């Protein structure tokens, strides 16, 4: 049996320790690095500027369509909105799920305001604002900002002038930011146009600019009949405001071909054709 001098034994032991150390280090890097990279990418994850419509989106579109028409019973719109929310609640991603649920609150607020139920409209709007503001605190995205602006607009309708004075600038700025982040966001264009058409000149209202924004949105050929109808209706109304009767009548006729039994459009028609 061969014996090694004690100095060589110490060197051999040291080499084994070093080899083991580096082996452990390499294994650790191999195991930990992917997790570290994944965590880095996760922390930088971005919500799409316009989240893809999930299951249940068609129900929300149907509810909006019925708000424009007379083809519904009193409870049908809320039933559609509730079912849409139930389906949205199954979306795995928490922030995307919260955004879509805030969209259902926005739809409820619109319907309650339509029914002149200001208390219920304010309650639905407050819930929606809490939802979307929580998401936007983590990350801003075009549709989130647009929904924030539209919720503020519904709260203005529910609570009136005092709320408008306190929150009007925030609503306007959110709408503009939404459009800056995604210039082709049709719903954001509609929201910005709404502020331009309805705000007084001293607060930034500008009918001509509102028409330009709506015309750009219309040129994108919106896939949603609801969006096309709203754009055409507002263009008809705004053109009438500027005494451009030919354009007003043309836009009115195009809107009428989409939803011929709309009470809102009938009011616009009365203004144009009087």
Burial class (CB in 10 A: 0-12, 13-18, 19+), 176: middle
- How many folded domains does the chain comprise? 2
Tell me the percentage of the chain whose pLDDT exceeds 90: 73
State pLDDT tens for residues 193-241.
999 998 888 878 999 999 999 999 999 999 999 999 999 999 999 999 9
Torsion of CA 95, 101, 106, 112, to 10 degrees: -160
Torsion of CA 188, 194, 197, 198, to 10 degrees: -150
- Categorize the per-residue pLDDT at 44 as very low, low, confident or very high, splitting at 50, 70 and 90: low
Predicted pLDDT of residue 45: 63
Predicted pLDDT of residue 189: 98
State pLDDT tens for residues 117-141.
999 999 999 999 999 999 999 999 9
Token representation of residue 258: 């989409």
27 located within any domain:
no
Same structural domain, 67 and 152: yes
Range of the domain at 214: 201-274
Predicted pLDDT of residue 154: 96
Tell me the percentage of the chain whose pLDDT exceeds 70: 83
18 located within any domain:
no
**In the listed set 148, 182, 216, which residue is the last one of a domain according to the structure?**
182
Q: Are 139 and 113 in contact (CB under 8 A)?
A: no
Q: Are 236 and 272 in contact (CB under 8 A)?
A: yes
Same structural domain, 177 and 208: no
15 located within any domain:
no
- Residue at token pair 């929310």: 85
Which CATH number belongs to the domain containing residue 273 in this structure?
1.25.40
**Whole-model pTM above 0.85?**
no
Mean pLDDT of the chain: 87
Give, as one character, the DSSP assignment of residue 55. Answer: T
State pLDDT tens for residues 52-109.
999 999 999 999 999 999 876 778 999 999 999 999 999 999 999 999 999 999 999 9
Examine the pLDDT at 157 and tell me if it is beyond 80.
yes
- 266-270 long-range contacts (CB < 8 A, ≥24 apart) are 268/233, 268/236, 268/237, 268/240
Same structural domain, 126 and 230: no
Examine the pLDDT at 37 and tell me if it is beyond 50.
no
Same structural domain, 148 and 66: yes
Same structural domain, 146 and 230: no
């Amino acid at each position: 049996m061969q014996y090694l001098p004690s100095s060589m034994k110490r060197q051999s032991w040291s080499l084994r320790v070093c080899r083991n150390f580096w082996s452990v280090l390499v294994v650790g890097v191999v195991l930990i690095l992917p997790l570290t990279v994944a965590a880095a990418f996760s922390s930088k994850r971005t919500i799409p500027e316009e989240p893809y419509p999930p299951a249940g989106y068609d129900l929300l579109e149907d509810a909006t369509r019925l708000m424009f028409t007379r083809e519904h019973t009193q409870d049908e719109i809320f039933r559609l909105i509730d079912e849409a929310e139930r389906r949205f609640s199954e979306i795995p991603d928490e922030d995307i799920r919260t955004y879509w649920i805030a969209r259902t609150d926005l739809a409820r607020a619109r319907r309650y305001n339509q029914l002149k139920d200001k208390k219920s409209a304010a309650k639905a709007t407050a819930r929606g604002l809490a939802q979307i503001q929580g998401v936007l605190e983590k990350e801003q995205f075009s549709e989130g900002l647009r929904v924030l602006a539209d919720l503020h607009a519904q709260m203005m309708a529910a609570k009136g002038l005092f709320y408008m004075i306190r929150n009007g600038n925030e609503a306007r700025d959110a709408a503009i930011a939404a459009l800056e982040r995604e210039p082709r966001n049709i719903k954001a264009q509609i929201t910005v146009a709404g502020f331009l058409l309805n705000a007084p000149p001293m607060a930034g209202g500008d009918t001509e600019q509102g028409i330009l924004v709506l015309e750009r949105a219309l040129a994108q050929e919106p896939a949603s009949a609801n969006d096309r109808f709203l754009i055409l209706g507002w263009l008809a109304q705004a053109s009438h405001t500027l005494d451009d009767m030919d354009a007003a009548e043309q836009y009115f006729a195009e809107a009428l071909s989409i939803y011929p039994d709309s009470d809102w459009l009938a009011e616009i028609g009365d203004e144009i054709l009087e």
